[in-house]
């Protein structure tokens, strides 16, 4: 997805396999869309569009959808096969079969029983899967992610819907006022000199934070901000802490 209807426009976020959206504007080559998952708006090339019925779209929003938990998995369809990545949606999955529009798919990845238990180990398990993924502005996969895309995808794997950008995510959950009370899964936000939130990371344990900065990496967080363990200096200025997982 791009901020403007042009191949030269910046990537603002990514649609990955199984993501649905509504069309809110168009021109000859581009659709302006709003994503079903987080109401994010941007432009996609019409060549990337795949129609589904209005009823399918409504049900997609209402029903919980299965998610790919493999780093990379294969889906087979009538035109061949394709790879999907961690966090991809498998709409209306029954057994290993599902349908998107007129295309029928078979999922070849691992299947996991859903769980309502989100503990520290599960949070760390999903977060650490992204370790060393390269930084990509607008990205949200293992092959390239930005700070808020990383956090949003980890939370999706844990069964939570949060917004796309860091400043939006800072409105979720409840505020943790004492940094000494942080726990695994808390989101820590960081601001620029104008007090605008520009960065987010996830607490792993004690004073450790995992975040996308050059790559998805682990550093130290305190009341000043993020202390980069490689460069031995602070890289981000502390703003606030929010708790979504109670």
Interval 46-77: pLDDT, tens: 999 999 999 999 999 999 999 999 999 999 99
- In whole angstroms, how far apart are CA 187 and each of 5, 109, 244? 33, 30, 8
Burial (0-12, 13-18, 19+ Cβ within 10 Å), 174: exposed
Span 80-85, average pLDDT: 95
Interval 190-233: pLDDT, tens: 999 999 999 999 999 889 999 999 999 999 999 999 999 999 99
- CATH numbers and ranges of domains, the chain: 1-49 (2.30.30), 64-113 (no CATH), 120-243 (3.90.1720.10)
Half-sphere exposure of 25 (CA within 13 A, CB side): 6
Residue 113, pLDDT above cutoff 90 = no
pLDDT at 111: 78
Interval 165-196: pLDDT, tens: 999 999 999 999 999 999 999 999 999 999 99
pTM: 0.95
Span 74-81, average pLDDT: 93
Interval 134-146: pLDDT, tens: 999 999 999 999 9
Whole-number percent of the chain with pLDDT over 70: 98
If residue 61 lies in a helix (H) or strand (E), which one and from where to where? helix 54-62
**Neighbouring residues of 219: CB distance < 8 A, sequence distance ≥ 6:** 201, 208, 209, 211, 213, 226, 227, 228, 229, 235
The label of the residue with tokens 């290993």 reads 96
pLDDT at 206: 86
pLDDT at 102: 86
Residue 246, pLDDT above cutoff 90 = no
């Amino acid at each position: 997805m791009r901020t403007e209807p042009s191949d030269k426009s910046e990537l603002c976020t990514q649609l990955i396999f199984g993501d649905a959206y509504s069309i809110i504007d168009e021109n000859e080559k581009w659709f302006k869309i709003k994503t079903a998952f987080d109401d994010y708006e941007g432009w996609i090339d019409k060549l990337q569009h795949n129609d589904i019925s209005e009823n399918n779209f409504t049900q997609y929003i209402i029903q919980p959808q299965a998610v790919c938990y493999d780093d990379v998995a294969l889906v087979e369809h009538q035109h061949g096969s394709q790879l999907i990545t961690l966090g991809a949606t498998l709409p209306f999955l029954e057994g290993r079969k599902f349908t998107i529009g007129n295309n029928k798919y078979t999922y070849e990845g691992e299947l996991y029983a859903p769980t309502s238990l989100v503990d520290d180990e599960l949070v760390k398990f999903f977060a650490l899967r992204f370790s060393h993924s390269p930084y990509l502005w607008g990205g949200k996969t293992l092959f390239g992610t930005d700070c808020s895309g990383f956090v949003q995808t980890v939370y999706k794997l844990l069964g939570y819907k949060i917004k796309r950008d860091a400043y939006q995510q800072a409105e979720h959950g409840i505020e943790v006022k004492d940094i000494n009370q942080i726990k695994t899964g808390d989101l820590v936000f960081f601001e620029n000199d104008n007090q605008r939130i520009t960065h987010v990371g996830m607490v792993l344990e004690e004073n450790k934070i995992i975040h996308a900065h050059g790559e998805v990496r682990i550093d130290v967080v305190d009341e000043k901000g993020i202390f980069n363990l490689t460069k031995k200096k602070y890289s981000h200025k502390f703003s606030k802490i929010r708790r979504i997982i109670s």
